[in-house]
């Protein structure tokens, strides 16, 4: 049952990413239609994220941080795919649970759509190691828009075997 839910969630996330790339506007779950792939102007005062956004971005940050090992050749392809899946799951969670006003929501989508695209690229072809840099570049914009206490702190370091999935 969990795998069916995961496939459904990933399909929804992929659909949102494809819709955002195909059309400059979309709407979902009560969000106002907005351009998801266009860079939103940086606000004079950064927005406060809601709890699901903070949680989801922390999960993304940790997974992308762990992918440094893959870039250096110290992590297996199956483990890298696992981390890319964790990024997809966190993005799907944020799409489903974040409740933001239109302007911060548009800025968030400008971050999440390229992030999701890069994670999917790495999963589709683990040889595309450059997708990790694309993920890191996408999340680098997050602190420009959102005042999320603790974001600048390093992701928690967890020492795991990098050659086993």
Q: Would residue 159 count as lying in a domain?
A: no
Q: Would residue 46 count as lying in a domain?
A: yes
The percent of residues above 70 in pLDDT, for the chain, comes to 68
Task: pLDDT band for 153, please (50, 70, 90 cuts).
Answer: low
Q: Which of 53, 55, 2 is nearest to 31 (CA)?
A: 53
Q: Cα–chain-centroid distance for residue 1?
A: 24
Q: Would residue 154 count as lying in a domain?
A: no
Mean pLDDT score, 8-25: 41
What angle separates helix 77-97 from helix 102-124, to the nearest 10 degrees? 160
Q: Would residue 119 count as lying in a domain?
A: yes
Alpha carbon distances (Å) from 34 to 21, 56, 88, 110: 12, 21, 21, 10
DSSP designation for 49: P
Tens of pLDDT, residues 31-43: 333 334 456 788 8
Q: How many domains are contained in the chain? A: 1
**pLDDT higher than 70, residue 161:** no
Alpha carbon distances (Å) from 26 to 8, 29, 112, 124, 158: 19, 11, 14, 25, 38
Q: What pLDDT, on the 0 to 100 scale, is given for residue 6?
A: 41
What average pLDDT does the structure give for the chain?
A: 78
**CA angle 67-112-53, nearest 5°?**
95
pTM: 0.71
Q: Would residue 45 count as lying in a domain?
A: yes
User: Under a CB-based contact definition with an 8 Å cutoff, are residues 59 and 108 in contact?
Assistant: no
Tens of pLDDT, residues 43-94: 889 999 999 999 999 999 999 999 999 999 999 999 999 999 999 999 999 9
User: Under a CB-based contact definition with an 8 Å cutoff, are residues 9 and 92 in contact?
Assistant: yes
Q: How many CB atoms sit inside 10 A of residue 67's CB? A: 25
| Domain ranges, residue 122 | 2-145
Task: pLDDT band for 26, please (50, 70, 90 cuts).
Answer: very low
Task: pLDDT band for 154, please (50, 70, 90 cuts).
Answer: low
């Amino acid at each position: 049952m969990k795998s069916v839910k995961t496939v459904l969630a990933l399909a929804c996330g992929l659909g949102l990413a494809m819709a955002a790339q195909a059309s400059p506007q979309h709407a979902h779950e009560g969000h106002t239609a907005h351009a998801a792939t266009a860079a939103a102007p940086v606000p004079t005062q950064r927005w406060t994220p809601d709890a699901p956004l903070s949680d989801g971005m922390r999960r993304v940050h940790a997974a992308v941080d762990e992918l440094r090992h893959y870039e250096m050749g110290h992590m297996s392809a199956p483990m890298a795919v696992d981390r890319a899946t964790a990024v997809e799951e966190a993005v799907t969670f944020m799409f489903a649970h974040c409740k933001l006003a239109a302007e911060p929501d548009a800025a968030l989508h400008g971050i999440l759509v390229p992030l999701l695209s890069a994670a999917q690229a790495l999963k589709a072809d683990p040889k595309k190691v450059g997708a990790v840099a694309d993920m890191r570049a996408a999340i680098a914009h997050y602190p420009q828009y959102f005042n999320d206490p603790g974001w600048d702190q390093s992701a928690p370091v967890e020492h795991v075997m990098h050659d086993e999935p």
